[in-house]
């Protein structure tokens, strides 16, 4: 995978997938029960390392992504974070001057250190040819949870603040961007070979807002990381945006790879990005959930569409928790056999 990120063409795409450590694995559910809760699991280095390694051991994947969450960054800025079982993450909302001023200016090392400790344990346990991926959320996506205090269908509260109090909104984005750059540098120092920036909600903004609140802060983070750690490699996942916007983002951030969501047109992506960066993706998690011959055909099509480009096989978004393990095994075998 590192060869591909660094510019080499190989005919067999490396494989990993988003949310590869998670609830579809019985061994994950067992460790999760032992940890007591999701945040507790994220902040326990031994257990976080164990669940990171589980899918790599079980499937022989080419990369491990550290088990953590994008909301650890606001948590390390002093914002309370917890999970409501069967619902999702909750944060103390930061949506006015008073709550913004209660946030810390820089990351609390007591919260981030367990992530770095987990990375070190994983690095030592991984075979040398397995890539270790660190990650973060992009400021806009993290802000959408932080401002609402929870996940929302339409990111309504964050958009209302963006349009109603631009100065405060910009302060939140700037604070998250600086903290995120530091968190990525911490992960690289702990052993991450590459970092991926998840902008799950990039697709809910218009072109102007995308440029200002997604692309600009992501470019600033990437350039701060690269200035501090020149060996850093960066993968971007701007979900739901037009290829033309992605192109601008990749060039502003000098990304090493772009991770494509399931609806992106692969032939267009290939035309736009080959020669510029590697392409990651983009099997639909729904197709993996259903499995069968339709999945095989889709995998073959992806391999065909990206043959002769720098390709990292992945899903177009995180694996669904109902996904049968047999489908995952069949997907990996198919990619390796057809590549």
For position 200 contacting ligand CP3 by CB under 6 A, the verdict is yes
Q: How far apart are CA 45 and CA 78, in angstroms?
A: 20
- List the one residue from 59, 135, 140, 169 that touches ligand CP3 (CB under 6 A): 135
For position 285 contacting ligand CP3 by CB under 6 A, the verdict is no
> Shortest approach of ligand CP3 to residue 11 CB, angstroms?
26
Sign of CA pseudo-dihedral 158, 160, 161, 163: positive
For position 257 contacting ligand CP3 by CB under 6 A, the verdict is no
10 Å CB burial of residue 305 (0-12, 13-18, 19+) is middle
User: Whose Cβ is closer to ligand CP3: residue 13's or residue 137's?
Assistant: 137
Q: How many residues of this chain interact with ligand CP3, rule: CB under 6 A?
A: 22
Of 24, 28, 62, 69, the active-site residue reads 69
- 150 as an active site residue: the answer is no
User: Whose Cβ is closer to ligand CP3: residue 135's or residue 140's?
Assistant: 135
Of 32, 220, 266, 310, the active-site residue reads 32
Query: Which residue's structure tokens are 């995998």?
Result: 299
10 Å CB burial of residue 263 (0-12, 13-18, 19+) is exposed
> Shortest approach of ligand CP3 to residue 9 CB, angstroms?
26
> Shortest approach of ligand CP3 to residue 239 CB, angstroms?
7
For position 203 contacting ligand CP3 by CB under 6 A, the verdict is no
For position 136 contacting ligand CP3 by CB under 6 A, the verdict is no
Residue 227 CB neighbours (<10 A): 11
Q: How far apart are CA 184 and CA 182, in angstroms?
A: 5
Region 11-30 residues binding ligand CP3, contact defined as CB under 6 A: 18-23
- 32 as an active site residue: the answer is yes
- What is the chain's Cα-based Rg? 19
Q: Strand, coil or helix: what is 280?
A: strand
Region of residue 136 (phi > 0: left; psi between -120 and 50: alpha; otherwise: beta): beta
User: Whose Cβ is closer to ligand CP3: residue 137's or residue 272's?
Assistant: 137
Q: How far apart are CA 336 and CA 334, in angstroms?
A: 5
- List the one residue from 114, 137, 238, 316 that touches ligand CP3 (CB under 6 A): 137
Structure-token pair, residue 209: 């807002």
Q: Are 239 and 190 in contact (CB under 8 A)?
A: no
Residues that bind ligand CP3 (CB under 6 A): 18-23, 32, 38, 65, 67, 69-71, 88-89, 135, 137, 141, 151, 198, 200, 318
Residues labelled catalytic: 19, 23, 32, 69, 145
């Amino acid at each position: 995978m590192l060869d591909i990120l660094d510019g080499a063409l190989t005919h067999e795409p490396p494989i990993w997938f988003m949310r590869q450590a998670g609830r579809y694995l019985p061994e994950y559910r067992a460790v999760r029960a032992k940890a007591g809760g999701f945040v507790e699991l994220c902040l326990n280095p031994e257990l976080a390392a164990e669940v990171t390694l589980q899918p790599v051991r079980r499937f022989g994947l080419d990369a491990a992504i550290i088990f953590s969450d994008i909301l650890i960054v606001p948590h390390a800025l002093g914002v309370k974070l917890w999970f409501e079982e069967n619902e999702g993450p909750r944060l103390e909302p930061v949506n006015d001057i008073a709550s913004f001023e209660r946030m810390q200016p820089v990351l609390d090392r007591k919260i981030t250190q367990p992530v770095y400790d987990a990375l070190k344990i994983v690095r030592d346990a991984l075979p040398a040819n397995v890539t270790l991926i660190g990650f973060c959320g992009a400021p806009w996506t993290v802000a959408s949870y932080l401002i609402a205090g929870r996940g929302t269908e339409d990111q309504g509260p964050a958009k209302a603040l963006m349009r109603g109090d631009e100065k405060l909104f910009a302060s939140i984005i700037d604070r998250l961007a600086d903290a995120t750059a530091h968190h990525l540098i911490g992960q690289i120092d702990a052993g991450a070979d590459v970092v991926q920036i998840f902008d799950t909600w990039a697709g809910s903004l218009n072109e102007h807002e995308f440029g200002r609140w997604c692309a600009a802060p992501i470019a600033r983070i990437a350039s701060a990381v690269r200035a501090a750690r020149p060996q850093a490699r960066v993968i971007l996942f701007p979900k739901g945006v037009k290829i033309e916007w992605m192109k601008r983002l990749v060039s502003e951030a000098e990304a090493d790879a772009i991770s494509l969501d399931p609806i992106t047109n692969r032939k267009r992506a290939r035309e736009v990005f080959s020669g510029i960066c590697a392409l990651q993706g983009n099997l639909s998690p729904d197709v993996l959930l259903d499995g069968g011959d339709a999945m095989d055909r889709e995998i073959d099509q992806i391999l065909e569409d990206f043959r002769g480009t720098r390709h990292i096989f992945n899903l177009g978004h995180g694996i669904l928790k109902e996904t049968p393990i047999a489908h995952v095994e069949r997907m990996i075998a198919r990619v390796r056999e057809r590549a």
